[in-house]
Structure 1
Amino acid sequence: MSTLTGRRPAPYRPSGLTWTVLRLHRTALYVWGAALLAAVAALIWLLAVGPDARAIVGGCDASDPFPMDCGTARWTTTARTYATGLALVSACVTFQMYAVAVWAGAALTGRELESGTARLAWTQSVTPARWLATRLAVPAVLLTAGTTLAVLLGNWTRRAGRGDLSGGWFNANVFISSGPVAVAYALAGLALGALAGLVLRRALPAAAAALAAAVVLHEVLDGFRMSLWPAVTTTGRAALHVPYGSMLLEHGSVTADGERVNTSLACVGTDGSALEACIRRGPWTDFWSTYQPQSHYWPLQLVESGLLLAVAGLAVAAAFALLRRRLA
């Protein structure tokens, strides 16, 4: 028919609720996509200079009784650039939760409820539940894919160079940006922001409330992270030489009456006859230390991710319940 009438067929234009969400929030999509591309480009460049940073800095002393961050000697421009770049990317991945929460509260739900756009959509064969589900599902998929890419590429970069130059595995930014907990933080921020928008129905107050909720959640988990999995406690000479790469939580001495004294550094780093002489000079009979070994990285990651996903799930359930209640 188009041949007979001389008209060309109309070009295909994407439609549907998913496309509407992408088009409506295309500015946020462009900004987030540009940030992701910048992070990927930076990580690829750091991946190339990683071996040079490893060779320049050299190894760490595995006999250090309380190893924290290593690679502090022989700093050069290459090593500093590598460490700074990796730390910046790690911080961006870690704190993207805040930006996601603010955007979700202000633009994803709050602004549409404030302007009446949401109610207009509900009158055009789009149910409120479908409207909310699409607004949560589309950014959730994009955040999961993009954050996973940044995490995998970041871990590859750390293995190629010296990731511990920007902090040990227990460093907050390193821990969050190197595992599945990064995705869980992003999804939690999305859910909290969407809930804040539905509760307040105004863009600016919802953005402030979402940011406050995200900060509180981040700080609480940061404070209790090393308590999410049972730590290891050792006594005797092993307490003076915890495994390399461990996060030391507490250490001290045991007095003659069995009392544990915290923060006592007596006899640390000594062994053999020097240790025996040190014990005789002081009022202590033994030593103890509590630490999280590097082998607990994955249990801690999984437990924290589970808590964050539980928070996200509760926030989403509350959002749907609130939406149904207001429309009842």
Structure 2
Amino acid sequence: MTALGTAPAPAGPGRPSGPGPGRPGGLVRTVARTHRTALALTLVALATATAALIWLHSLGDEARAGNSACATPPTDRLPSCAAVEAITVDETYASGLAVIATVLSWVMFPAAAWAGGALIGRELESGTAELAWTQSVTPARWLAAKLGAPAALLTAGTGVLVPVNVWARGDGNPNLTGDWYYPDVFVSTGPVAVAHALAGLALGALAGLVWRRALPAAGVGLAASLLLHSLLERHREDLWPPVTRTEAGSFELPRSALQVAWSDSPRHGVPLTRADFHPESHFWPLQYVESGLLLVVAATATAAAFVLLARRLP
């Protein structure tokens, strides 16, 4: 933050000199320096998750074969093959993928809390933002840099982790990786993960501008993201028209089908079964629609933040 206070004044009308925030790219570098701890933690988390996924991929074939490393008799490094309580490779593989899926699915929550608290709310509460605006940095440029840098990092990070996660899942055996329509699995295996992160960032930034204090803004941004996440999870099956199957008698849907509605009713003395469901082929339509909705939320919140900032200026 001190970099803003020591930045040199412009050498001429509208033409700043020196490495301060008024120069092109200077404000982005200032944002990176101010939030270098958060940036470093994010990069460490990305590297750790990537390394974990590469390791899990190396276990995939053995996990799918249902084998686990053991020895008879047991050794110092390998448990007894007769030990029922021994941790198996398939359990390790499934548990690891589940943790990664949860992390990717919930990334919007820390993004929203950080954006509302540290990125925007704290800057306004401490007066650092106003100081920057007096040093050849317009409020619009300040907000654009504040949002642009983390948005690029979140997009790049989740954009890399999602395909690596899909690669680590192999053939997607649902007994190991979970069915495609499980909430965490669905979000973590498509572009929805990126859209969730950007929506969380925008909602947090808007909360920061509304409350202008770090702690309340972080809480409101987190609550707004939680509400959005919950609404989409509850109504995800309604985002695309389901397939309807009607047959006389009874039948069972395949495990890969996401059941939406089920009814049994006699007609002309014949039992009739009707099922509305999403087959696995609906994964991508549902991904695209949900991603679109999240990006609309992100764009709307971002636009509202710029409008609010302009109206609050003297």
Which band: TM-score by shorter chain? 0.7 to 0.9
Residue 215 of structure 1 aligns with which residue?
Answer: 226
Match of 1:303 in 2: 289
Match of 2:75 in 1: none
Moved more, 18-27 or 241-250: 241-250
Q: What is aligned with 1:292? A: 278
Mapped pair 1:56 → 2:42: no
Matches within 5 A, 1:183-222: 183-222=194-233
Q: Which has the larger radius of gyration?
A: 1
- Of 33, 36, 53 in structure 2, the residue corresponding to residue 43 of structure 1 is 53
Displacement of 1:220 in angstroms is 0.3
CA distance in 2, matches of 1:20, 1:203: 19
Alignment pair present for 1:159 and 2:170: yes
Query: Whose helix fraction is larger, Structure 1's or Structure 2's?
Result: 1
Following superposition, the deviation at residue 242 of structure 1 comes to 2.7
Q: Determine if the alignment matches structure 1 residue 315 to structure 2 residue 306.
A: no
- Pairwise CA distance, 1:291: 0.7
Residue 35 of structure 2 corresponds to residue 25 of structure 1: yes
Greater RCO, CA 8 A, separation 6+ = 1
Q: Figure out how many residues of one structure are paired with residues of the other and give that number.
A: 275
Any unmatched runs of 5+ in structure 2?
1-18, 68-85
Q: After TM superposition, which residue ranges in structure 1, 4 or more long, deviate above 3 angstroms? A: 12-15, 160-164
Contact 2:258–2:279 (Cα < 8 Å) also in 1: yes
2:275 match: secondary structure: strand
Q: 1:45 to 1:161 in 2, by over 3 A?
A: farther
- Tell me if the contact between 2:204 and 2:218 (Cα under 8 Å) persists in the aligned partners: yes
Write the mapping of 1:74-153 to structure 2, written as runs, cut at 5 A: 77-153=88-164
Q: Matched residues in 1 for 2:171 and 2:275: separation?
A: 32
Q: For 1:244 and 1:76, locate their aligned partners in 2 and report how far apart those are by CA, in whole Å.
A: 27
The offset of 1:39, in angstroms, is: 0.5
d(CA) in 2 for partners of 1:248, 1:154: 25
Relative to structure 1, is the Cα distance of residues 163 and 44 closer, same or farther in structure 2, using a 3 angstrom cutoff?
farther
Q: Structure 2: which amino acid aligns with 1:112? A: E
- C-alpha distance in 1, partners of 2:297/2:154? 17
Aligned twin of 1:260: none
Q: How many Å apart are 1:250 and its aligned residue?
A: 2.2
Structure-2 separation of matches of 1:88 and 1:32: 17
Q: Distance in 2 between matches of 1:160 and 1:284?
A: 41
Aligned to 2:3: none
Deviations 1:33-86 (A, max 9, x none): 1111111011000010011111117xxxxxxxxxxxxxxxxx961000000000
Separation in 1 of the partners of 2:308 and 2:233?
30
Coordinate RMSD, CA, aligned: 2.1
The alpha-carbon deviation at position 285 of structure 1 amounts to: 1.9
Shift of 1:161: 6.5
Q: Tell me whether 194-203 or 30-39 shows the greater mean CA deviation.
A: 30-39
Residue 253 of structure 2: SS of its match in structure 1? Answer: coil
Deviation at 1:244, TM superposition (A): 4.8
Give the match's secondary structure for 1:252.
Answer: strand
Q: Taking structure 2 as the reference length, what is the TM-score of the superposition? A: 0.83
- 1:324 pairs, out of 304, 310, 314, with 310
